[in-house]
Amino acid sequence: MRIGIGKDIHKLEEGEYLILGGIKIPSKLKSVSYSDGDVLIHALIDSIFGALGLGDIGETFKDSDPLNKGKSSIEFLKETVLILKRENKKIVNIDTIITLEEPKLKENKLKIRKNLANLLDINENQINIKAGTNEGFDSLGRKESIEAIAITLLEDL
């Protein structure tokens, strides 16, 4: 078994929606990023790469590559699933946390979970999505940023 951790943080600015776990969530704020700014998928990919000993997301999906500009993080995740299979590993479970003040994610956590389980070809009970705030502290608490952390446990196929 191998375990990996991933973390991502992005600046927020005015917008119409956030993308989290591949789901568009209505919001007055959006994530600023070279790709689509999906901090959850970025952290998840980092945790998978960590468990595989393959560095971080930026080493495989470079922000200097024009093909990655504005790209859907779902595409990065699909490529990551192919890497997992090539490395002869499968996901045991994933635990995540998203930190932001608003919007509240209670209504969207199940949609995110279902979408990620489908993309990763795992059961929904193998992935957990938690959300919290920073109680007004630092850039997260001031609604200037959004952060996600993911931990993934892998085992041999």
**pLDDT tens digits, residue range 68-113?**
888 999 999 999 999 999 999 999 999 999 999 999 999 999 999 9
**Closest C-alpha among 87, 91, 85, 86 to residue 154:** 91
CATH value of 2-156 in 3.40.1190.20, 3.40.50.300, 3.30.1330.50, 3.40.630.70: 3.30.1330.50
In what helix (H) or strand (E) does residue 153 lie, and over which residues does it extend?
strand 145-156
Q: Is the pLDDT of residue 139 over 90?
A: yes
In eight-state DSSP terms, residue 72 is: -
pTM for this model (two decimals): 0.96
In eight-state DSSP terms, residue 95 is: E
- Specify the amino acid at residue 129: I
* Dihedral over alpha carbons 121, 106, 96, 55 (to 10 degrees): 80
How confident is the model at residue 73, as a pLDDT?
A: 96
How confident is the model at residue 69, as a pLDDT?
A: 87
